[in-house]
Amino acid sequence: MIALLMRDLRLAMRAGGGFGLGLAFFLMVVVLVPLGVGPEFAVLRRIAPGVLWVGALLACLLSLDRLFALDFEDGSLELLATAPIPMEGVVAIKSLAHWLVTGLPLTLIAPVLALLMNLAPEGYVWLVVALALGTPALSVIGAFGAALTVGLKRGGLLLSLLVLPMYVPTLIFGTEVVKRGAVGMELGTPLLFLAGVTLASMALLPIAAAAAIRANLK
């Protein structure tokens, strides 16, 4: 499983679609929004949590269509389906690789970009906490969507339509954590809900994704 993880990380770096593209898209969103809404600090501070979370969510979405597609095209996915590693484990490893290449860098760079959005200093720590808790769910949910659309030609649009509604709870609770943290409000409830969504996704969706892959390979 470690070998599979290292292989996926190398492929992601060579393809240039995970690390570089996700960060570049995140940066463009955060830079363009102030240009569109104006330089008023009060407005930027109010919308900063939502903009940062939407940017991170869409950046995670960019590379999902290649999560299983490359392996499907070269026949590696069929070999993985017959390997001693359970398909659920393969899905979990690929989700982890996607998070390491996309979600983790976005989490680390988010406080720097929050400066451009004039986020309150009290919200920086909670921004990192919320993204660290929520982005794994984005990767696992995305893996489920990629499993449903693997083998389909031009399945990227369908993947987005399937995944985006499932991203909504993570977006809502993640944004609420940052909003409340920035103003010093109690944030235990959205934080617990965000962690619950992530844990439920990690527990259930690899099983569903593995079943979808087996069905698509028949």
pLDDT tens for each residue of 123-154: 999 999 999 999 999 999 999 999 998 877 76
Task: Band the pLDDT of 15: cuts 50, 70, 90.
Answer: low
Instruction: Determine the pLDDT at residue 205.
Output: 95
- pLDDT on residue 34: 85
Burial class (CB in 10 A: 0-12, 13-18, 19+), 174: buried
3-state SS class at 173: helix
Model-level pTM? 0.91
| pLDDT value at residue 1 | 73
Q: How far is residue 12's CA from residue 100's CA, in Å, rounded to a whole number?
A: 10
| pLDDT value at 207 more than 90 | yes
- Averaged over 14-23, what is the pLDDT? 67
The pLDDT of residue 69 is: 80
Selected residue with higher pLDDT from 38 and 97: 97
CA distance 105 to 99: 9
Mean pLDDT over all residues of the chain?
Answer: 88
CA dist 97 → 6, 102, 140 (Å): 8, 8, 10
Q: Which of the listed ranges 21-25, 137-141, 212-216 does the model predict with the highest average pLDDT?
A: 137-141
Predicted confidence (pLDDT) per residue in 63-108, tens digit: 887 788 878 877 788 888 777 889 999 999 999 999 999 999 999 9
Q: Is the pLDDT of residue 206 over 90?
A: yes
Distance CA 150, CA 71 (A): 10
Please give the share of the chain, as a percent, with pLDDT higher than 90.
51
Confidence at residue 3, expressed as pLDDT on a 0 to 100 scale: 78
Confidence of residue 19 (pLDDT cuts 50, 70, 90): low
pLDDT of 131 reads 96
